[in-house]
Amino acid sequence: MASFQQLYTELIETPPNPYLTTKKVLDFVKEEDFQKSLPKHCLLDNLEENIKHYSDDIASVLKLALTIFAHGFAVQKGYFFGFGKQIDDQTGTRLKMSAAS
């Protein structure tokens, strides 16, 4: 459950510029899992080249996208797991995991 809160916090608090890399940024992701998820080197090289040329535009889009991702994540999971603006929403007949002990 804490991992959901950690991901939400990282999406909200990490500015877009650190994401302009092919290196691991989020602590939520294990290094081993991140390395497994990387595309082939030819694609990484292409990505790095595009980041160099279009970093301002990419950062603008990322800023918007990260906010939308975090909000959507909070709406979907926040009231069950105790994070985001929906933390106090009622869950109906479903168990509220953040209140379970």
Residue 61's pLDDT is 95
What's the angle, vertex CA 49, arms to CA 8 and CA 58, rounded to 5?
A: 40
Residue 29's pLDDT is 83
Percent helix / strand / coil, the chain, rounded to 5: 65, 0, 35
- Where residue 21 falls (left for φ over 0; alpha for ψ -120 to 50; beta otherwise) is beta
User: CB burial class (10 A; 0-12, 13-18, 19+) of residue 19?
Assistant: middle
Residue 99's pLDDT is 55
Range of the domain at 77: 2-99
Kindly give the confidence (pLDDT) of every residue in the chain, 101 residues in length, as a single tens digit, with 9 standing for 90 and above: 577 778 888 888 889 999 898 888 888 888 999 999 988 988 999 999 999 999 999 999 999 999 898 888 887 777 666 677 665 555 554 555 555 54
pTM for the full model?
0.66
